[in-house]
Amino acid sequence: MKLMIASDLHGSMKYAKIMKERYDAEKPEKLILLGDLLYHGPRNDLPEEYAPKEVIKLLNGMKAELLCVRGNCEAEVDQMVLDFPVLADYMILYLDQRMIFVTHGHTWNKKNLPPLKKGDILLHGHTHIPTAEACGENGEYTYINPGSLAIPKNDTPHSYMIYEDGRFSIRDLEGKEFLHYSLI
């Protein structure tokens, strides 16, 4: 199974188009979006080519390809204009016999862990910083973050992630890997 995972688009049509181009080039089975799709939020500057109405059209055109969780910038009004569910706080995936807790990161995160057991993975966006690291006292769980498509932070690149064959690969917008984590 091949999945593309992205987060924190924040209404940028420029990066929505690039995301779609990368999706078409990568050819995954699904695109998992980790929230903050349309609104830039009060803590962020406007992203390049801020055009949430255009982003709505692009995303609705991909609705059969998308699995989404709710970011801290999503509201009921967003669900009213999007043709796919965006208000779930989390989803659970099982990949290579590992539980992946998928969320945005504003509620469930390293400081407020969801129920995880040894070997589980916490996958979220929200921080806009790409990360793949073992966490806990003895590396009991793994934390993975694809970074942000539109508004990266801490001098990190605009990024997304691919999961395939037991491996998470965080890539820049040209598709070049710069960080990875293997399950096997």
Please, what is the end-to-end C-alpha distance for the chain in angstroms? 15
Q: Helices 13-26 and 52-60, interaxial angle, to 10°?
A: 20
Q: For residue 183, what pLDDT is reported? A: 82
Residue 76: which H helix or E strand, with range? helix 76-81
Q: Domain segments of the chain: what residues?
A: 2-182
Q: Tell me the per-residue pLDDT of 113-169, one tens digit each, with 9 for 90 and over.
A: 999 999 999 999 999 999 999 998 888 999 999 999 999 999 999 999 999 999 999
Q: For residue 101, what pLDDT is reported? A: 98
- Rounded CA Rg of the chain: 15
Q: Which of 171, 157, 158 is nearest to 14 (CA)?
A: 158
Which residues neighbour 172 within 8 Å (Cβ) at sequence distance 6 or greater? 157, 158, 159, 178
- CATH homologous superfamily for the domain 2-182: Metallo-dependent phosphatases (3.60.21.10)
Would the pLDDT of 42 be above 90? no
Structural tokens at position 71:
């970011």
Q: Tell me the per-residue pLDDT of 73-123, one tens digit each, with 9 for 90 and over.
A: 999 999 999 999 999 999 999 998 899 999 999 999 999 999 999 999 999
What's the whole-model pTM score?
0.96
Is the torsion defined by CA of 31, 177, 108, 154 positive or negative?
negative
DSSP state of 47: P
